[in-house]
Structure 1
Amino acid sequence: MLTFIRHHLSRSGHAALVSVVCLGVLLSACTPKEGIKTSPEITETMPEDEAEQQLWLAQRAISTERADYLLNALEIYLTREDYSNAERTVNTINTTTLSSPQYERYILLAGKLAMILDKPELAITYFEEAPSEAFTTAPLPTQLDAVELRANALLAAGRPLEAARFRAFNAGLFTGEAYWENHNKIWNALRAVPALELSRALEQPQDYDWQGWLELINQIRLNQYSLDQQLVALNQWRENWPTHAASQHLPDELQMLIELPNTRPKKIALILPLSGPLEKVGAAIRDGFFAAFYADAEVSSVSTEINVIDSEQHDSIIDLYLQLQIEDYDLVVGPLQKDQVSELALLPQMNPPVLALNYADTFELATPGLFQYGLAAEDEIRQILDYLDSQKKSRIAAIYPNAAWAEELVNTLKEREQGNDNFQLLSYEYTPEDSLSNGISALLDIEDSDERFRDIRNILGKVEFEPRRRQDIDAAILIATPTIGRQLKPLLAFHYASDVPVYATSQIYAGFQQKDKDHDLDNIRFTEVPWLLSQTIPLRSDIKYLAGINRYERLYAMGIDAYHLAPRLALMERFPSSQLPGMTGNLAINEKNQIRRQLEWATFENGQVKTLLTLSPQ
């Protein structure tokens, strides 16, 4: 037991311990006479638990040594993953008495705990409140640990520009492979910087190194819709910044980007339903795919063969895929139907690779060569829930239809509740036959308020009364079409819930402005594809030539993104942090090779849809 303590204590702390032990030996030699009560100080023994030993010693140490014991205990608790005791220990440390080395150790340990507890802002606060000289004279490994912790905290707190800037400023601390690893982390953080924030940073004077990084990410983004244009822009940037570290050694993702033209698929099979009940859906995706192809052909010298196949004309998707293998296709895009994607997912591997346009029903592990991308509304629900979680809103009223199209969305809501003890879902499932007013009233417990009023009136006679809704609802999530939404939003206000922030999925928006009708949707925040929110996308001009496309614009945008994803799948698989700012959202890949979307935010204001660049708390 003492051997362990010797490893953890300072020299002065070790001396204190030896004194304590010697005192115990001397006292044990003095056997008390029978009948005499031994004092608590004499009979008190050191705990056997390692962490409790440190706390025991801290209680008996002088103030300058006490912190060392507490920090030892904190480190032991962190190693054990005993975070409740670790948090209690952090709160007992008086930072005003810490020496510089102690304060640095405190920041690293307390900051690590804050990150584990998903409190990155707290970790940042530890650094911000530290003395200005903290870490300036610390050993190099300690300084590097501090850089990693603070940069990771900034990134986790949704401050990627600051994270990248901090890493770039401290890049000189790193050497060898660690230098280039930090190099890649700067790039990855820059990839997550919102466009508006990047634009503002570019307008400010910067030092050479940081300005070069900003110009690099900006050039890659400005040419994001064409692989060839991105490569031209990258080469131009390297000519303009020849001595920049990123020019001499590109981040790994950009190095692979240079190699992509050599691996770009030259023969693509596009499998879609072009007859039967899904004919118009398939046609919209096809038209979007070819719109992107023709736009790319104007700036690309690469020849690509695309063959369109009607999936409705084939009984077996497996047989069709095996035939495409024989015909030496480089990539298969499709199918669209979920059951066909599920069949393909049962194959042990995909060669040629497949970019399916839907998600398999059961898909636990990534099938090599199978990528899945679709307009899953579950992405929108997760985005809304993640935002509400970031705002500490945990009691959510969910209003959704009893309809097949909403099942996956509702399941996603319920999964979040099952996986989070702090999250509570209050549900109202409406049907076409429902009285929506009665349903909202029940959800908000208005009837209970009326009952209490009647009881009071029976006792006191005539009294003034205004019904009250339940007060514990933090926000509402609305899953509804525009027609139903125009009824539900006013009903929330009618039933005294006008102050409850309302969030909705893209089903709430018809896809085009209806100012006269959409006043009743005012102040609803919703997720939507960039394609429908921006009027400056060049390919949008093609829409006017496609009669009847309005109803299927999101699918048209999906076709565009499918084309842009095709040559980038290998890059995204190798670099999961790589993202494609697409027409259907910001596209990223997960560990199952599923492409997931982060959509843009919008709101209704005076009946018109307005894009929200940032979300202010409600």
Structure 2
Amino acid sequence: MMTYRNSLPTFTLLAVLITLFSGCASINLDTHVAETPEQALTIAADENDPQSAQRYLLRIASDYQTKGNHTAARKILRHDLLKSAEGQPLEQRRLLAMASAIELEDRGWAKELAATGNTEDFLNYPSDLLPRAANLQAQTYALAGKSLDAATTLILLGQTDSSTSPQSIHDKIWSQLKNVDSSELQASTNNAIGFENQGWLELAMTLRNTDGNLDAQGRLIRQWQNNWPGHPAAQTLPIELALMADISSSRPENIVLALPLNGPLASAGKAIRDGFIAAYYNDTSANRSKTDIRVVDTANQPFRDLYSKLSSSKVDLIVGPLEKEGLTELADMNTLPVPVLGLNYLPAGRKAPNGLYQYGLSAEDEARQIAEQLAEDNITRILALIPNGEWGDRVAAALTNKLQETGVTALHVQRFFPEDNLRAITADVLGVTASRQRAIDVERTIGLNVEFEPRPRQDAEAIVMVAAPTIARQFKPLFAFYFAGNLPVYAPSITYEGVPNPSRDRDLNNVIFTDIPWVLAENSPLRSDAEQYLTGTKGQLGRLFAMGADAWQLSKRLPLLQQVNDAAINGHTGTLTMTQTGSIHREQLWAKFVNGTPEILETKSPDALVTGE
């Protein structure tokens, strides 16, 4: 029998065995870099000293945040191993958790963090971290839907940190206070403690019931300043409130309404004109003795020549043109000496000069809103029917771009002409034509007739139908004919004629569509008055009338919308906001056809800083 001896010395073998059985003892928790959150949690779980394990996990989570990987950080920060943290590790964990919850927009996590703390928690951090901690805490409260606590945190920060810019912090405080529910705000105002808290709450409550009247708002803000002369906000008003206080003195007095009153666009121009003038006379804040409105016909003349002539006279604002060509003529100018509120939009890619604002009934806005609603309804795969032509191209581009942003997949976008065979178009978009072709191919292959029942594709969750009423009333029954009647259908305002017609619109039952408040809202004093004395207030002309009415409201608020990021107007054509480049976007209402009649759907209403008609 042969004997084999290990060539390793005895002490070397013992060292290897000790290393094998020592597990993680050789890992330095102060320097180790985990490849995954799971690895970090496993290593921490094997550590005998809980505090060392917690310090290690917090360092790894912080490293992930630095790299922008907040999902990995969340997996660590929400683990049970950190729930027993106390003292400094607890404060560090809370700071890191708030940062990741905000970055990930994790409302559930934010609510948990908000429920386990109070508005004074940020004071536990050292002075160099105080502003960051307070701002993270305020953002966490806001994400959790606790706007009042967010505002209270920022008010306290203003009292304790002199390095914070008063303008910046006052703007943030106001942006939170405006989101507080009126009943909660009233209760808090009644029970407020502390000079600064009382002043802020009274200011917010004072401006709640002004019905969007800018003159009234300005007077109330100045009155509040007089009543609270020593309050920090009285000395440095939030930018939005400073603009509101000054806007009545800076609103345009000499306005030119430049519209086509002859030619193919005459009816549209006259409807917008009537809406603008009606809104002016319905506006109790308008100063009749100072405001002068002049109407000019833009038909049959280059708008740039007309603009040059008008800008050399005493004009504060030009509202118009409606024609896209006229608006494009202004795009070559670097700046406009007299501001223009154009009633259309420049072609894609054209940069607007300074002083040019753009507003209209944009089909692209509606397409984007449909995409957002699909995502909100948790619909991830859709089919779409969109007309051919330049208008349809713009709608298709806006819809598909927004679908990509929201994570919704367009499985198939079918374009069509009104004169097409709509049955064939429907079969194509639903995949029935492809299904039938597969059956034909099988028959040719096996040489026998096969039984075939057409079935639509099974992966679609909804249909977007962009079609005029006469076409839409044909498409909707065809969906049911091809066994897709259970798919929800979303549509823009073009699908509704604007006037209830149950006998004809029964074919549109269950179609969900978006339209302007002028058409859908139950109560509108201006609409009620206009319908008594004017024609052209319903249907498509009614939408243009509403556009004219909102153009009047916009004419008074352009500086406010441009300088306050989240400022909005509750208008007749929707909730109006402005981009940094001066383009007005609209958020419309949602309705559903029930027994041939539109019924408004409740949706989350956007926060409007400027309200009223």
What secondary structure does 2:467 align onto? Answer: coil
CA-based RMSD of the aligned residues comes to: 4.3
Take 1:581 and 1:480, find their aligned partners in 2: how far apart are those partners? 27
Does residue 1:215 correspond to 2:210, yes or no?
Answer: no
- Residue matched to 1:397: 383
Query: Which residues of 2 match residues 50-129 of structure 1 at below 5 A?
Result: 51-52=33-34, 59=43, 61=47, 62-83=49-70, 85-86=72-73, 89-90=76-77, 94-99=81-86, 101-117=88-104, 119-127=105-113
> Over residues 441-491 of structure 1, what are the superposed CA-to-partner deviations in whole Å (9 max), with x where a residue is unaligned?
4433346667899989x99x9999986543432332221112222222233
Match among 528, 534, 549 for residue 546 of structure 1: 534
Going from structure 1 to structure 2, the CA distance change for 1:81 and 1:401 (only over 3 Å counts) comes to same
- Residue matched to 1:607: 596
8 Å Cα contact 2:513/2:592 also seen in 1: yes
Match among 318, 325, 332 for residue 311 of structure 2: 325
Shift of 1:361: 0.8
Take 1:31 and 1:134, find their aligned partners in 2: how far apart are those partners? 63
> Over residues 146-180 of structure 1, what are the superposed CA-to-partner deviations in whole Å (9 max), with x where a residue is unaligned?
553454356567x5xx3245424763343255666
Query: Which residues of 2 match residues 257-406 of structure 1 at below 5 A?
Result: 257-296=244-283, 300=287, 302-315=289-302, 317-363=303-349, 365=351, 367-406=353-392
> Over residues 10-62 of structure 1, what are the superposed CA-to-partner deviations in whole Å (9 max), with x where a residue is unaligned?
xxxxxxxxxxxxxxxxxxxx998699969467997879998449988872643
- Return the letter of the residue paired with 1:333: V
Residues paired across the two proteins, number: 574
Match among 121, 125, 129 for residue 135 of structure 1: 121
What secondary structure does 2:483 align onto? Answer: coil
8 Å Cα contact 2:576/2:584 also seen in 1: yes
Shift of 1:511: 0.9
Shift of 1:612: 2.4
What secondary structure does 2:336 align onto? Answer: coil
- Return the letter of the residue paired with 1:542: A
Shift of 1:347: 0.8
My pick for the range that moved more, 594-603 or 102-111, is 102-111
What secondary structure does 2:590 align onto? Answer: strand
What secondary structure does 1:353 align onto? Answer: strand
- Return the letter of the residue paired with 2:567: S
My pick for the range that moved more, 499-508 or 349-358, is 499-508
Going from structure 1 to structure 2, the CA distance change for 1:355 and 1:364 (only over 3 Å counts) comes to same
8 Å Cα contact 1:506/1:528 also seen in 2: yes
Shift of 1:234: 5.2
Match among 575, 595, 601 for residue 586 of structure 1: 575
Going from structure 1 to structure 2, the CA distance change for 1:166 and 1:84 (only over 3 Å counts) comes to closer
Shift of 1:114: 3.8
- Residue matched to 1:24: none
8 Å Cα contact 1:54/1:72 also seen in 2: no
> Over residues 504-547 of structure 1, what are the superposed CA-to-partner deviations in whole Å (9 max), with x where a residue is unaligned?
11111111111222222222222211111234322211233323
8 Å Cα contact 1:503/1:524 also seen in 2: yes
Going from structure 1 to structure 2, the CA distance change for 1:313 and 1:434 (only over 3 Å counts) comes to closer
Take 1:198 and 1:516, find their aligned partners in 2: how far apart are those partners? 42
Take 1:612 and 1:57, find their aligned partners in 2: how far apart are those partners? 48
Q: Normalising to structure 1: TM-score of the pair? A: 0.79
8 Å Cα contact 1:285/1:556 also seen in 2: yes
Take 1:503 and 1:67, find their aligned partners in 2: how far apart are those partners? 50
Take 2:458 and 2:130, find their aligned partners in 1: how far apart are those partners? 48
Going from structure 1 to structure 2, the CA distance change for 1:301 and 1:434 (only over 3 Å counts) comes to closer
- Residue matched to 2:609: none
Take 1:475 and 1:150, find their aligned partners in 2: how far apart are those partners? 40
> Over residues 348-377 of structure 1, what are the superposed CA-to-partner deviations in whole Å (9 max), with x where a residue is unaligned?
111111111111114565532111111112
My pick for the range that moved more, 554-563 or 103-112, is 103-112
- Return the letter of the residue paired with 1:138: N
> Over residues 534-589 of structure 1, what are the superposed CA-to-partner deviations in whole Å (9 max), with x where a residue is unaligned?
34322211233323443411111111111111121112211121111111111111
Take 2:412 and 2:241, find their aligned partners in 1: how far apart are those partners? 46
My pick for the range that moved more, 304-313 or 203-212, is 203-212
Take 1:577 and 1:31, find their aligned partners in 2: how far apart are those partners? 76
Going from structure 1 to structure 2, the CA distance change for 1:136 and 1:345 (only over 3 Å counts) comes to closer
What secondary structure does 2:382 align onto? Answer: strand
Going from structure 1 to structure 2, the CA distance change for 1:68 and 1:377 (only over 3 Å counts) comes to same
Does residue 1:407 correspond to 2:396, yes or no?
Answer: no
Take 1:443 and 1:199, find their aligned partners in 2: how far apart are those partners? 50
Match among 468, 488, 503 for residue 481 of structure 1: 468
Take 2:154 and 2:118, find their aligned partners in 1: how far apart are those partners? 16
Going from structure 1 to structure 2, the CA distance change for 1:426 and 1:608 (only over 3 Å counts) comes to same
Take 2:119 and 2:310, find their aligned partners in 1: how far apart are those partners? 65
Going from structure 1 to structure 2, the CA distance change for 1:574 and 1:74 (only over 3 Å counts) comes to same
Take 2:394 and 2:510, find their aligned partners in 1: how far apart are those partners? 26
Going from structure 1 to structure 2, the CA distance change for 1:298 and 1:106 (only over 3 Å counts) comes to closer
Take 1:233 and 1:35, find their aligned partners in 2: how far apart are those partners? 85
What secondary structure does 2:215 align onto? Answer: helix
What secondary structure does 1:491 align onto? Answer: helix
- Return the letter of the residue paired with 1:567: K
Take 2:361 and 2:179, find their aligned partners in 1: how far apart are those partners? 22
Structure 2: where are the runs of 5+ without partners? 1-8, 193-197, 606-613
Take 1:369 and 1:340, find their aligned partners in 2: how far apart are those partners? 15
> Over residues 315-353 of structure 1, what are the superposed CA-to-partner deviations in whole Å (9 max), with x where a residue is unaligned?
3x2222222221131111111111221221221111111
Take 1:277 and 1:111, find their aligned partners in 2: how far apart are those partners? 58
Take 1:383 and 1:72, find their aligned partners in 2: how far apart are those partners? 42
Shift of 1:97: 3.2
What secondary structure does 2:500 align onto? Answer: coil
8 Å Cα contact 1:380/1:505 also seen in 2: yes
8 Å Cα contact 1:123/1:150 also seen in 2: no
My pick for the range that moved more, 568-577 or 483-492, is 483-492
What percentage of residue pairs aligned between the two structures are identical? 33
Take 2:219 and 2:466, find their aligned partners in 1: how far apart are those partners? 44
Going from structure 1 to structure 2, the CA distance change for 1:151 and 1:91 (only over 3 Å counts) comes to closer
What secondary structure does 2:523 align onto? Answer: coil
Shift of 1:285: 0.8
Take 2:427 and 2:142, find their aligned partners in 1: how far apart are those partners? 42
What secondary structure does 1:415 align onto? Answer: helix
Take 1:425 and 1:199, find their aligned partners in 2: how far apart are those partners? 46
What secondary structure does 2:274 align onto? Answer: helix
Structure 1: where are the runs of 5+ without partners? 1-29
Going from structure 1 to structure 2, the CA distance change for 1:277 and 1:264 (only over 3 Å counts) comes to same
